[in-house]
Structure 1
Amino acid sequence: MGVVMGKDEKVNIPHLYMKLAMDLEKLRNYPWGMYSFDFLLKQIDKTRHKLEQNEGYLMEGFLFGFQIWIMEVVPALGEICGTKVNRNFTGPLYVEILGSRGVIDMGISNEATVAEDVLGVRRRRRHRTELLNAIESEMVAVKDRLRENVEDVSLWRRSSGFKDKFSTQETWILTRTSYAHIDWANNYGQGCEMYRVDVTCALCKNAAESRSHLFFECSYSSQIWENLMLDILRGSYTTDWNAIVALLKQSDRDKKRSFCLRYGFQTIIYVIWRERNKITHGESPLPMNAVKKLIDKGVRNKLSLLRSRGGKGTESALQYWVSTRT
């Protein structure tokens, strides 16, 4: 029998951890990364209210990832607060870089941190060595950037450097993985064929699917279109997409006819596309008669709502629609 205990007697082990510890397979497959990220965000939100307190604060979570993020967002921190040293380095940073004499010339303590030297009270010195003068200049510049009486400036990363304006396009380019341009990307049929995707119409199974075929050259969709629109279009009836769009754009003095045509067109498009997606994703479509009744009911409900609200020019639209159904 195993026992799960915390390092501190005051720390309670969550019940979730205990259950995971009893099932090694679940323990290995548990999304620890996502959990750690969410936990870290909660800790940051909890801790940020304590930043103005002088007694300090404690933050828990995956802080290493947080530190990496800070260094990525503000790369200047690495240049200011860090430097490359050899792997055998064990002594104070200033001594390693400047030597024992350089530390004395700078007036810096062997044990001092960068923050203590930059923010502390010290007078700038002039040196004969270029390196020491460069460090003095950098410390002054850093101290100037860290002034408390000046508002922070938010900068956004761009391909050309950090800018004060945010760009969705630049952010997308920087965060996505780029691939080589593929010539057939604009050719729907050829692209699907290369990936062996069936482009046959899901409704009639007799031709390649395209916009013009689906609306309304397809034997399935043309039956629905004819059943609902033949008596409205009459002599102008057609199943050609471009011709239908031209009819929809025409200004018609008969507002009730124009509205029934346009709203009926929208409803038919929506329902046919939904039935097409059902078949594509392995679901069973509705029977043809059920589809016709569904569209008819949807149009009637819309027209009834308009009549109850007193829509101008559509008072008799419901009667007109019903007359085309008989």
Structure 2
Amino acid sequence: MGISLNATVKEVLQNHRRRRHRSTLLSKVEDDNDVLKGLASQADDIAKWKCRSDVYKPRFKSKDTWLLIQEVHLRCDWHELTWFKNSTPKFSFFFWTVMHDCIQTALVKGILKENYTTAWDAVFHNIKRLAPDKTALFVAKYALQATMYSLWRERNARKHGEESSPPLRVIKTLDKAIRNRLSTIRLQGKEFENALVYWFSTRN
């Protein structure tokens, strides 16, 4: 075809002259080249980023690129209890890892009140029912993650030969950690400014 192995598309469109070929395949390549010449513009090339299937945009978005290179899975019904604003990253990550094993534990009885249960699915359902009250929902989710993390730390300490902590000490340490986090959130703005007061109201 008279095209160099190192030629760019631009060079071919600008310099290549059509030739006759006995091969049907080479004639098809010449036809495609002629079509591209008709569509070619003298303007500068514009870089576009693929966002979805057959959708390209001039601006780059890391979220779109991330979704393109990742496998698509069904959203878990417990994702809202795992990743939420003002959560503590180590709590969220630990909760995420635990959820793949689905352990059960008793949590935040003062918040769930008469809906308190040790059944794992029921715990999730009852916490989600708090949605109309954003403060109660946030405190319940945060307490859930903090409780699980505290229990894991205590289990890990005992497993490695450290002295076990009495249940009352574990509860006090957990309560203090939650109060400290709610206090810092109150100083950040109006959102959840009553969370600490609400937490105190749930304690016996």
TM-score range normalised by the length of the shorter chain: 0.3 to 0.5
* Greater Cα radius of gyration, structure 1 or 2: 1
Question: Scaled by the length of structure 1, what TM-score is found?
Answer: 0.30
